[in-house]
Structure 1
């Protein structure tokens, strides 16, 4: 089983994807892979999300499909059953942390403060999400953390764009960033998969 660090090493950008129709799932995953981004975080924000994860897991094995917006133990179990290969939560409690660990999948627990990051480190995990990144202090905040929690490694998400991603990626404690700009919902609705591939290629070459 790969670790969270292994998953994050696949691409400098983790595409955070919201699908409104199951039919979007496989084409968007293939378009991302064609652009050099072989992973996708599919958020559990729509009724079709679990079915979309199932479709990608079954039909696009070259793409590591993860489930985002994990906010309850039940959601972690549902994502595992659907075929998710990693989990991402926007925040974390001891109960949620234990539930994600119990799935056996790599996971990124969400943190926004030093205390939350320390709690995750105390539980034995050093790779975590930083969310909402821009609203929580952004690059300036993250750049101060290695002096106090040098073991913590982050995937900042929330307000990340092609314009500010390089600044985040330049930080030693940032493994990658998460962003939705690779897969805008209007682009998915239009079925413009070529556009997704172009955006993925640009993201894959950010560093």
Structure 2
């Protein structure tokens, strides 16, 4: 079975998605899959997020699907029930991390300084989200952390087509989380061809 790290490393870019309408889940999933990005991190910042994950999981069983902006144990439970492959949190909350470990679901918590990296390592984690990447020092900070700690990172927050290569050039970086290829505005307007073109361009850029 392919590990989460192997899947992330193969994909290189993970679309971080805020979805406002559950009916958008299927056309969104189709746009991602058909354009070479069979993955999604659906952030739990909208009311329909869990239902969107359920719909996407049912329609695209082979997709790699994560829930993002997970802040509570209740959201962990809802995410697992919806069928996610992994969970992402913006910060490092030991309670949430331990709950995910106990539940047997992978969690990629957010860190942006040495102390948080060490706390995550103390709990056995070796794959971490570097967030918010650009405001936290960007490539320079990530290189400094990578020189010291034997962990893998998924930088997210301010990553774009303009700087994704810089992040991916760091050996500790498995993949980058990004929103630029999945604008909520295009989803709300039903412009799936335009969104698909952005996804395809992102895939071609990193491969």
- Common topology (TM > 0.5): yes
Structure 1 partner of 2:153: 154
Q: TM-score, normalised by structure 2?
A: 0.95
User: In 1, are the aligned partners of 2:113 and 2:145 still within 8 Å (CA)?
Assistant: no
Give per-residue Cα distances to partners, 1:66-104, cap 9 Å, x unaligned.
100011111111110111121111011211111122232
| 1:54-203 paired onto structure 2 within 5 Å | 54-149=54-149, 151-203=150-202
Alpha-carbon distance between aligned partners in 1 of 2:71 and 2:7, rounded to the nearest angstrom: 20
Superposed displacement of residue 7, structure 1: 3.5
Give per-residue Cα distances to partners, 1:133-175, cap 9 Å, x unaligned.
00100001111123211x1110000111111111111111111
Cα 1:118–1:4 shift into 2, 3 Å: farther
Q: CA RMSD in A?
A: 1.3
Q: Secondary structure at the match of 2:145?
A: helix
Q: Secondary structure at the match of 1:194?
A: helix
Q: Secondary structure at the match of 1:91?
A: coil
Gaps of 5+ in 1: none
User: In 2, are the aligned partners of 1:2 and 1:106 still within 8 Å (CA)?
Assistant: no
Runs of 4+ in 1 over 3 A off after TM superposition: 1-4
Q: TM-score, normalised by structure 1?
A: 0.95
Superposed displacement of residue 121, structure 1: 1.2
Gaps of 5+ in 2: none
